[in-house]
Structure formats: C-alpha cells, structure tokens
Amino acid sequence: MARKETKNRVDIITVFLEHDKKILILKRSQKVKTMKTKWGGISGYIEQEEPVKRALKEIAEETGLKNESVTLLRIGEP
C-alpha cells in the first residue's frame, strides 16, 4: 500500500531497547504535545538526518547510552 503524502506529514522514529530479554518502555511526560502520560518506546522527530542517526541521538538523550553500547537489530519501513 502506497503512503499518502500530506503537507502536514511529520516523520518520527520509535526505538525499543531490549536487554536481558526485557524491553524498555517509557512513560511520556505531561509536557509533550501528544500522547501525554502514555507508555511507549523512545521516539523523536526526524529532522535533516538519517533515521538511524536520529535514533542513536534519541537513545543517548533519553537513556545516556552511548552508540557503541547499542546494536541495531531491525529497521522497519513505514
């Protein structure tokens, strides 16, 4: 199925971290614009960069993990 292009489209990444057969999920802040207090993976807006680079930045910002501590297992397509 082809993606529908819209002028209001926003690209995001969502990351799920797994360690010792456990998956990290985070509770969203009251301060965010959408999905306040909902649970989910690490996420962020993709700006002028590759999605994998943005994912690594978001992981570092939200968990403190460095790139060399993270192994990419899978990339999904929209």
pLDDT at 5: 62
Give a yes or no: residue 64 inside a domain. Answer: yes
Could you give the number of structural domains in the chain?
1
Res. 3: pLDDT tops 70: no
What whole-number percentage of the chain has pLDDT above 90?
A: 54
Nearest Cα neighbor of 78 from 3, 10, 7 is 3
Range of the domain at 41: 12-69
Give a yes or no: residue 56 inside a domain. Answer: yes
Give a yes or no: residue 7 inside a domain. Answer: no
- Average pLDDT for 18-40: 92
Identity of residue 55: A
- Average pLDDT for 46-72: 91
Give a yes or no: residue 1 inside a domain. Answer: no
Res. 56: pLDDT tops 90: yes
Average pLDDT, the chain: 87
Give a yes or no: residue 2 inside a domain. Answer: no
Banded pLDDT at 33 (limits 50, 70, 90) = confident
Cβ neighbours for 63, distance < 8 A, ≥ 6 positions apart:
17, 24, 42
Give a yes or no: residue 74 inside a domain. Answer: no
